[in-house]
Amino acid sequence: MPTKADQVIEQVRASRVWRSVFRSGTGNSTLHRALAIQQNIFLHLFATKVRKRMVRFSATWYLGTLTLGTFLILVITGVLLMLYYHPSVPQAYADMKDLQFVVSSGLFLRNLHRWSAQLMVFLVFAHMFKVFYRGAYRTPREFNWVIGIILLLITLLLSYTGYLLPWDQLAYWAITVGSNLSSAVPLIGSKIHFLLLGGNQVNANALLRFYVLHCVILPLAAILFIAIHFWRIRKDGGLYVQQSDPKAQAAAENEPAAKEAR
């Protein structure tokens, strides 16, 4: 017996405006539900059909999804912080202090950005350990593991470049030490150091370069590789489901649902 609310929702979904946006149409058939996923730009990266045991909490602990969650929080709070932050010397430090003590909700946004950043690094490692110890990196998912390593490096670089932006003593010396590490690269070490800082010492050029890397280049790279990472889940046969019996594992790898999903 459909309730009043169900009828209203059904009417909205049948309306011309709704149909112009979501073209899959009304109905609960398998086809309609598959089309709803396939015809949505955000969802079409994923498989139209998944096994229930693939999306159980115990299978993944949702660590990858949670990592994406922290990334989205970081993008939103980061863009808002950019509205008050000038990447110049010594204004950067004053802006950071203003965000903490003068701007309404500034302290909340800055702390949210900071804690999410810490949490994201933690979650990325947790996700990697979970994937590693379940053996989910093995064929046919080995390339997605490589994409994951690239995403790990991007995450660490985002963390590192963001560290300089408050322009306090901790930031200054951390980046001095961190950038000197790059000098240890054979032959081209000092050149990398010079290009990274835009000079010989951590100064205005370095602050601007780290700002552009942190706010534009690295996030765009992250979004690109995240999209590939998610798309490859479908292409590699869906989320990994562990079976205690090797034969059942082999069967699960070749079962029709996994094939269809590609």
Partner 1 sequence: MSDNALNTGQTPPAEFDRRAFFTKIGLGSLGIAAAGTIVFSYEYLSPNVLYEPSAIVNVGKPDNFALNSVTMDVNSGIYLVHAEEGYFALNAVCTHLGCLTTWNQDLDIIACPCHGSKFTRTGEKIEGPAPKPLPWLKTWVSDEGDLTVDRSTDIPPLQYLRI
The reply on whether position 182 binds partner 1 by CB under 8 A is no
CB 176 within 8 A of CB 251: no
Task: Report the alpha-carbon distance of residue 45 to residue 150 in Å, rounded.
Answer: 19
Residue 194 is a binding residue for partner 1 (CB under 8 A):
yes
147 binds partner 1 (CB under 8 A): no
* Cα angle value 236/224/130 (rounded, 5°): 50
Shortest distance (Å) from residue 173 CB to partner 1:
6
Binding of residue 69 to partner 1 (CB under 8 A):
no
Among 26, 39, 176, 242, binds partner 1 (CB under 8 A): 176
177 lines the binding site for partner 1 (CB under 8 A): yes
User: At its nearest, how many Å lie between partner 1 and the CB of residue 198?
Assistant: 5
Under a CB-based contact definition with an 8 Å cutoff, are residues 107 and 99 in contact?
yes
* Closest CB to partner 1 among residues 118, 180: 180
Q: Give residue 258's identity as a one-letter amino acid code.
A: A
By C-beta, is 195 or 250 nearer to partner 1?
A: 195
Nearer to partner 1 by Cβ, of 25 and 198: the residue is: 198
169-182 and 204-212 are packed helices; what angle lies between their axes, rounded to 10 degrees? 80
Select from 198, 228, 235, 253 the one that contacts partner 1 (CB under 8 A). 198
Q: Is 204 in the site for partner 1 (CB under 8 A)?
A: yes
**Crossing angle, helix 91-101 and helix 106-134, to 10 degrees?**
100
Residue 87 in tokens:
């990447």
Distance CA 233, CA 238 (A): 5
Q: Does 199 sit near partner 1 (CB under 8 A)?
A: yes
Which residues 6+ apart lie within 8 Å of 176 measured at CB? 201, 202
Q: Could you say whether residue 163 binds partner 1 (CB under 8 A)?
A: no
The minimum distance between CB 141 and partner 1, in angstroms, equals: 33
- Nearest by Cα to 155 from 198, 129, 118: 118
Q: Does 201 bind partner 1 (CB under 8 A)?
A: yes
Q: Which residues of the chain form contacts with partner 1 (CB under 8 A)? A: 173, 176-177, 179-181, 194-195, 198-201, 203-205
